[in-house]
């Protein structure tokens, strides 16, 4: 199915959803009645969403789901993780199989306006790049003309790849796969000379999946903007607001210096009006969202603030070894900026 036909079909599914039960559904009530949040995640991407041998999920995207569960259920562990392929993720969200999609997904016009979903914010600013075997001797993406490039279908990665090669008058030889593992096996097996995905994904693949990370080089060029973030179905404004402000609360608490280690002390003793509002000591913000007063307290005490989540999953002391860069707070020269919680 072509990209245009696929989008048209997805939009039709979304429109059907609007006219049916999901247009009027109260997702918060459904989640609370079920006593579990259903979260769509990647089938396995180190640093973002990956399960260990015991089925315990970790990652930056996973921690957003845990934060949302803490806010609406008071317990960050009440999450049912639904692993989804790139092609299946939007249908799963539209159909109600999951309550939220937190799966390293790029916020684009087509997806936001054409698939019947709302992106709730950005949890990681990224960009697409290329990885090659070190012994290939390539130092720039502009030297890849004619190379075979492994790429997953149904992704912005596939579209960006074609745009980059066309814009630079280069010969593209794509090797397209539906599954993530299938594409990795092809690359490491020598089926293609180049692998392309988001820079964070390349770092994860190189550090975790490669038998010897030193055998592979991530080229310096970043060829796209990839603002990654969670999304929810359209038609439920309350759930959209909750999912959005959970994301902002993670950032705002870092701005205010509220951490999982000091949140109890600050809730008890801080005179800072911003701290008091966020932690529910003063004001009625929780009523506006339909939550308990301690919704943000539960997030930070159980999951941490955005900075803690970043460092724990993808930061410099993890196998990915990523600097904050543009994902630093706006006060530190980055792009992470919370709308005012007041």
Whether the CB-CB separation of 327 and 336 falls below 8 Å is answered with: yes
109 and 253 part of one domain: yes
336 and 295 part of one domain: yes
79 and 202 part of one domain: no
Q: Residue 179 has what pLDDT?
A: 86
Q: CB atoms < 10 A from the CB of 284, how many?
A: 10
8 and 35 part of one domain: yes
241 and 149 part of one domain: no
| Domain final residue, candidates 224, 244, 279 | 224
112 and 231 part of one domain: yes
Question: What percent of the chain lies above the pLDDT cut of 90?
Answer: 90
Mean pLDDT score across all residues of the chain: 93
Reduce the DSSP state of residue 233 to 3 states and report it. Answer: strand
Residue corresponding to tokens 């789901």: 65
Binned at pLDDT 50, 70 and 90, residue 308 comes out as: very high
121 and 246 part of one domain: yes
77 and 134 part of one domain: no
17 and 102 part of one domain: yes
Whether the CB-CB separation of 59 and 47 falls below 8 Å is answered with: yes
132 and 90 part of one domain: no
- By residue count, the chain amounts to 342
pTM: 0.89
96 and 242 part of one domain: yes
* Residues facing 309 on adjacent strands: none
| Domain final residue, candidates 201, 224, 247 | 224
Query: What does the pLDDT look like over 10-69, one tens digit per residue?
Result: 444 444 444 334 444 599 999 999 999 999 999 999 999 999 999 999 999 999 999 999
Q: Which domain holds residue 234?
A: 1-125+227-342
| Domain final residue, candidates 169, 193, 224 | 224
Q: If you average pLDDT over residues 89-102, what whole number do you get?
A: 97
Q: Which two tokens stand for residue 71?
A: 């806010």
Q: What are phi and psi of 231, to 5 degrees?
A: -145, 160
Domains held by the chain: number: 2
Query: What does the pLDDT look like over 239-252, one tens digit per residue?
Result: 999 999 999 999 99
62 and 156 part of one domain: no
CATH code, 256: 3.40.190.10
């Amino acid at each position: 199915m072509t990209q245009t036909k696929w989008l048209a079909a997805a939009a039709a599914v979304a429109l059907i959803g609007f006219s049916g039960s999901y247009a009027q559904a109260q997702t918060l009530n459904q989640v609370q009645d079920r006593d579990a949040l259903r979260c769509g995640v990647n089938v396995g991407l180190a640093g973002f969403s990956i399960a260990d041998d015991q089925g315990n999920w970790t990652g930056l995207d996973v921690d957003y789901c845990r934060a949302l569960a803490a806010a609406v259920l008071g317990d960050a562990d009440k999450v049912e993780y639904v692993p989804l392929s790139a092609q299946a993720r939007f249908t799963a969200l539209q159909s109600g199989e999951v309550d939220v999609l937190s799966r390293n997904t790029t916020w684009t016009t087509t997806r936001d306006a054409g698939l019947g979903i709302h992106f709730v914010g950005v949890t990681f600013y990224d960009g697409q790049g290329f990885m090659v075997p070190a012994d290939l001797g390539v130092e720039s993406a502009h030297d890849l003309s004619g190379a075979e490039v492994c790429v997953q279908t149904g992704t912005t990665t596939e579209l960006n790849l074609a745009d980059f090669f066309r814009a630079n008058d280069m010969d593209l030889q794509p090797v397209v796969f539906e599954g993530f593992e299938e594409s990795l096996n092809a690359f490491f097996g020598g089926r293609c000379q180049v692998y392309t995905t988001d820079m964070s994904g390349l770092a994860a693949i190189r550090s975790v999946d490669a038998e010897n990370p030193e055998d592979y080089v991530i080229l310096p060029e970043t060829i796209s903007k990839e603002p990654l973030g969670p999304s929810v179905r359209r038609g439920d404004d309350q759930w959209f607001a909750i999912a959005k402000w959970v994301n902002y609360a993670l950032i705002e608490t870092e701005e205010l210096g509220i951490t999982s280690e000091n949140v109890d002390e600050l809730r008890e003793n801080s005179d800072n009006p911003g701290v008091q509002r966020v932690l529910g000591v003063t004001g009625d913000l929780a009523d506006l969202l339909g939550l308990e007063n301690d919704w943000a307290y539960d997030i930070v005490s159980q999951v941490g603030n955005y900075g803690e989540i970043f460092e724990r999953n993808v930061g410099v002391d993890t196998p990915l070894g990523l600097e904050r860069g543009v994902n630093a707070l706006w006060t530190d020269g980055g792009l992470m900026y919370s709308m005012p919680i007041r």
